Amino acid sequence: MLRRRGIILPAFEIYGGVSGLIDYGPVGASIRRRVVQSWVDHWLSHGDIVEIDSPTVTPETVLIASGHVGEFNDLMTECKSCNSIFRADHLVEEQYPNADSLSAEEIDKLLGNGANCPNCSENTWTPAKPMNLMFSTKIGAMSAGRTAYMRPETAQGMFMLFPALYRHFRQKLPFGAIQTGKGYRNEISPRQGMIRLREFNMAELEYFIDPEKPPADDLNRRTEIVLLVPDPDGPHSGETRMGFGAALDSGIVRHPTVAWFLARTWDFLVNVGIDPERIRFRQHASTEMAHYAEDCWDCEIYGEHGWIECVGIANRTCHDLLSHEKKSNSKGLRAWRQFSVPRSQKIDRLTAIGSVIGPYFRGEAGLVTSALEELSDIPEFFPFKLTLSNGNVVSIDENMVERRKEVVNVSGEWFTPHVIEPAFGIDRIIWHILDHSYQESKKEGEDYTFLRLPEGISSVDCVVLPLFDKDGMGELASEITKAINSLPHRSAEMDSSKSIGRRYARADEIGVPWALTIDHTSLEDGSVTIRRRDDQVQVRAFVDEIISNLLAGTMHSLF
Amino acid sequence: MLRRRGIILPAFEIYGGVSGLIDYGPVGASIRRRVVQSWVDHWLSHGDIVEIDSPTVTPETVLIASGHVGEFNDLMTECKSCNSIFRADHLVEEQYPNADSLSAEEIDKLLGNGANCPNCSENTWTPAKPMNLMFSTKIGAMSAGRTAYMRPETAQGMFMLFPALYRHFRQKLPFGAIQTGKGYRNEISPRQGMIRLREFNMAELEYFIDPEKPPADDLNRRTEIVLLVPDPDGPHSGETRMGFGAALDSGIVRHPTVAWFLARTWDFLVNVGIDPERIRFRQHASTEMAHYAEDCWDCEIYGEHGWIECVGIANRTCHDLLSHEKKSNSKGLRAWRQFSVPRSQKIDRLTAIGSVIGPYFRGEAGLVTSALEELSDIPEFFPFKLTLSNGNVVSIDENMVERRKEVVNVSGEWFTPHVIEPAFGIDRIIWHILDHSYQESKKEGEDYTFLRLPEGISSVDCVVLPLFDKDGMGELASEITKAINSLPHRSAEMDSSKSIGRRYARADEIGVPWALTIDHTSLEDGSVTIRRRDDQVQVRAFVDEIISNLLAGTMHSLF
């Protein structure tokens, strides 16, 4: 159905296709745009979150700092008999459930232990070795070319723009930046259709906070009870059901901002049509979590492939900004924290005596002066060696400097903000929206399917159906279609081929919530029949009523 | 200003930046999203145009068929003295205006003739040679890896999906498909900031038509007079001003659908804030046009860099679909044309005589039969050689076949649709929207700037300004901001730092059309002051009036 109705199709199919690459067809692309727009609106409505947009081609330095060049790997092995290449952990997953956490040595042992080649059934594997999963390319020509990669996530764009964001928000935390767009992961052997793609739609929020004042929302006002799977190694292991407020109060969720974003993730998913009964939040075990993260949750959705991670919500602390600060030497990746009362601080430092340093070091005197100012540990003995910013090492005698110990009042300090990151896999979410809204039934002995998509998510808002294509019904239908299409963010499609029942079925199958039928009475008085997909109830209404209710999202009031 | 206010910034700036890659900051990304959404709405409102979305990573075969692997080149030369690399045509453009149309030999001659290295001033060039401008990468690992490129345009996605589109539109032409997204062009030495990017935002429409029934619109109803620069080698050379209808009637525009799309391009550009006086349509000379194209226009916009091509509108005929049909052997890239009356057609063919062919060719008998059926030129003499679909060649004797000449009635025929393609460079258009809406003036002796962006294009619709941050004004402002942000596709930002005049200036500088000021009276009766950017007139209104007018796009009615 997905392929036949132009929702999702294998990409480049006329050339045999490429696994891990998909097309959104005429119905699917519109659903995709609406899901992404809902996501953007969802976060922008916070008021302290803005959108940014950065390139997908990313120079190597950035991805060295982020750790992707070193660590974004899967273990790979090649069958020596037939030269097929596989992800090593997939070959041994029957022997060991979480095989992706194993080392190369451990996997080699399991491979030898009866994991035969799915292609030729031999057992002659090369040693498992890591393959980086980024698509690699070069910026520029020939000798001037620089290594670059297609971004594996959109997050780095927000870190790169931290200085501009800090300026935009007039130096006040907390604030967030979102980005939607393509991410890339050169899978060795993609499987599971839309779940594991080589090029995918991502949507990420980086929310920058002062760790001493973590922003939170009053979660105890909320009433929903959700399924949680806390850290299996922690004190709360085992599945449990409770509210978001209770999850924070009980210490299961370890950070108030993380708890808030778990709840806001829930809001978004339910709003775009995910069944609340098929959502759960799974906390990473400390062994599974990145070394720098302090609390990390997967929001998983249940569907045809079982529980699938669709959103990750992590407290990444100061890790990312600090790594980029170290690698780039940028001074722009910090925020200023004003103390509520000025604090007194002991200062112990060496100050250069200009009249000695000047003549002695001549051209390098300035460098010596600033190197002395930046010394945090004051050496106990003279002379000592001092490294300058140009790499030269000089020797400092007692007569060149003056030691000052003083107590000063400081009004605040620079610090590296922490970041809470909710990262959404849009294709996986769309897959589950389709899965959860798909409903089969029988009509007059034949299979009949509905897609119960929420309003605002379906590819068009209504279909316009001239009962017959004569007496001007076609023309009126075409006028009404045009009128709806000229409304902001509303759309209609006309369908005049085959029986009216067949046309209803076609619209139900792709989830169009409203069908407008134009008949002889329409030609006389301008009223049309509205049919509601979800209960197939029909009422008559005038076109201008319909248009104003479509615009306001209040079509149900006509029933 | 662009950088300071977070509209457009050099990408990866903390690492020194990469030329040809830009970021849209918090203000610019929102403008970008709104321009793209306007573009999508503009075309979807036609009713016979749908959106699709396809991967950016594109396997090599597709781009061989499209001609990009062979022809998407710039000539490049390297200075033998300092090893700098340059685009060869840029080095000689002072000597020859349209240097990008020159051959390598012609350029080499001009290079030797005094084009010295801009870097070291020597004149020691390597022979100019073509460099392909696509970013190259590999899909998959090691020996299983396939060469691929980042797409140089979005158009191929629509051609790949032609079979799905034809099905979606129930086998009826004309129809169109649009796509927006990233395109890539690995420039040798990018210049001109946002005009020549290595990664850019594209938006393309492929409109598929039956060339015997080219769709058109009644252009003589339109009143605007536009600047045209017809083909310099044609009968209408020289600049001219006329309406779109006259341009078609006079034969300057050679195709009715092309003329229609020139007009619709104009509509879009003016709607998003391009000054109509700074738009012109330039027709390609026959020497400049791709060999397959029949009429090709650049829509150029005038700005800081002179006249810049921002949209290309081309009649690409059946070229693209036919190339893919040849390369892929797909049967799905044609459309059916029903004749108004059935046509009689002479059929002359050889039919296999089963009782002879069967025993003689055994396993290959089926292949022989179909190869005979597909023969269009009937050989005059026997025996003749026949090539089978498996590549084998067999000899056919007179006794194996029967020759039939008959006249049959056929109701229609399969043909390759033609395609009209308007291709938009979104970043260039945004650049010119900013350029045309930027206005400098003086206020109290100081420089003062406005960005006169159209409503719906500015980054937010209004700023909310509490006169003081006390007595609950801040809280009320924050409530109003939230209320506006929860409206569909409307947004507001709160600003409470510094004087009210400073805050107006800040909003004017980035083009926010409305400012709402919350004062003591607001606390009493819920009314606020609305200030209109364009004339700085202020009126008082109630919050719910403002919200309903913002939603309906009728804010001016309050003045």
Tell me if A47 and B481 make a contact (CB, 8 A cut-off). yes
Q: What is the pLDDT of residue B191?
A: 73
Query: Which residues face B418 on adjacent strands?
Result: B209
**Residue A334 and residue A330: Cα distance in Å, rounded?**
9
More confident residue, B374 or B91: B91
Phi (first) and psi of residue A2, to 5 degrees: -55, -40
Return the minimum-mean-pLDDT range out of A406-420, B106-120, B171-185, B260-274.
B106-120
What's the pLDDT band for A444 if we cut at 50, 70, 90? confident
**Residue A127 and residue A120: Cα distance in Å, rounded?**
18
**Residue B405 and residue A145: Cα distance in Å, rounded?**
64
Q: How many CB pairs under 8 A join A and B?
A: 263
What's the pLDDT band for B173 if we cut at 50, 70, 90? very high
To which residue do tokens 């000089």 refer?
A394
**Residue A122 and residue A128: Cα distance in Å, rounded?**
16
- How many angstroms separate the CA of residue B338 from the nearest CA in chain A? 16
User: What integer is the mean pLDDT of A143-169?
Assistant: 94
Cα A62 to its chain centre, rounded Å, is 19
Tell me if B45 and A478 make a contact (CB, 8 A cut-off). no
| ipTM beyond cut 0.95 | no
Q: What is the pLDDT of residue A102?
A: 83
Tell me if A142 and B131 make a contact (CB, 8 A cut-off). yes
The answer to whether B143 faces chain A, any CB pair under 8 Å, is: yes
Distances (CA, A) of A503 to A31, A467, B66: 20, 10, 37
What would the CATH number be for the domain defined by A460-558?
A: 3.40.50.800
Phi (first) and psi of residue B382, to 5 degrees: -110, 155
Q: Do B92 and B115 contact (CB within 8 A), yes or no?
A: yes
Q: What is the pLDDT of residue A546?
A: 95
User: What integer is the mean pLDDT of A472-494?
Assistant: 91
Distances (CA, A) of B470 to B113, B467, B473, B518: 73, 9, 6, 11
Q: Which residues in A lie closer than 8 A to residue B326 (C-beta atoms)? A: none
Residue of A nearest to B86 (CA): A141
What's the pLDDT band for A538 if we cut at 50, 70, 90? very high
pLDDT in tens, A106-152: 899 889 888 889 889 889 999 998 889 999 999 987 667 899 999 99
* Highest averaged pLDDT of the listed ranges A349-363, A392-406, B297-311: B297-311
Q: Which residues in A lie closer than 8 A to residue B61 (C-beta atoms)? A: 15
Residue B468 has pLDDT above 80, yes or no: yes
Residue B67 has pLDDT above 80, yes or no: yes
pLDDT in tens, A338-370: 999 999 888 888 888 989 999 999 889 999 998
Q: Do B492 and B543 contact (CB within 8 A), yes or no?
A: no
Other CB atoms within 10 Å distance of the CB of residue A56: 23
More confident residue, A1 or B401: B401
Q: What is the pLDDT of residue A4?
A: 85
Assign B171 to helix, strand or coil. Answer: coil
The total number of residues shown for chain B amounts to: 559
Q: What is the pLDDT of residue A255?
A: 95
Continuous H helices in B309-459: 319-328, 354-361, 365-374, 426-437
Other CB atoms within 10 Å distance of the CB of residue B77: 27
Residue A324 has pLDDT above 90, yes or no: yes
Nearest to A52 among B12, B24, B141 (CB): B24
* Domain ranges in chain B with CATH number 3.40.50.800: 460-558
Q: What is the pLDDT of residue A559?
A: 92
What's the pLDDT band for B244 if we cut at 50, 70, 90? very high
Residue A292 has pLDDT above 80, yes or no: no
Residue B282 has pLDDT above 90, yes or no: yes
The answer to whether B188 faces chain A, any CB pair under 8 Å, is: yes
Q: What is the pLDDT of residue A334?
A: 97
Q: What is the pLDDT of residue B210?
A: 97
What's the pLDDT band for A172 if we cut at 50, 70, 90? very high
Give the containing element (helix H, strand E) for A532. Answer: strand A527-532
Assign A200 to helix, strand or coil. Answer: strand
pLDDT in tens, B346-368: 888 888 898 999 999 988 899 99
The answer to whether B481 faces chain A, any CB pair under 8 Å, is: yes
Tell me if B140 and A23 make a contact (CB, 8 A cut-off). no
Sign for the pseudo-dihedral over CA of B141, B146, B147, B148: negative
Residue A288 has pLDDT above 80, yes or no: no
- How many angstroms separate the CA of residue B140 from the nearest CA in chain A? 5
Q: Do A285 and A231 contact (CB within 8 A), yes or no?
A: yes
User: What integer is the mean pLDDT of B403-423?
Assistant: 92
The answer to whether A390 faces chain B, any CB pair under 8 Å, is: no
**Residue A6 and residue B162: Cα distance in Å, rounded?**
11
Q: What is the pLDDT of residue B72?
A: 86
The answer to whether B54 faces chain A, any CB pair under 8 Å, is: yes
Residue A422 burial by CB count (10 A; 0-12/13-18/19+): exposed, middle or buried?
buried
Tell me if B51 and A40 make a contact (CB, 8 A cut-off). no
Residue B100 has pLDDT above 90, yes or no: no
Q: Which residues in A lie closer than 8 A to residue B146 (C-beta atoms)? A: 18
The answer to whether A140 faces chain B, any CB pair under 8 Å, is: yes
CA proximity to B257, closest of B300, B298, B290, B209: B209
What's the pLDDT band for B267 if we cut at 50, 70, 90? very high
Q: What is the pLDDT of residue A113?
A: 84
Residue A287 has pLDDT above 90, yes or no: no
Q: What is the pLDDT of residue A103?
A: 86
Distances (CA, A) of A239 to A242, A281, A285, B82: 10, 10, 14, 67
C-alpha angle A459/A462/A463, rounded to 5°? 100
Residue B289 has pLDDT above 80, yes or no: no
Give the containing element (helix H, strand E) for B411. Answer: strand B401-415
Residue B112 has pLDDT above 80, yes or no: yes
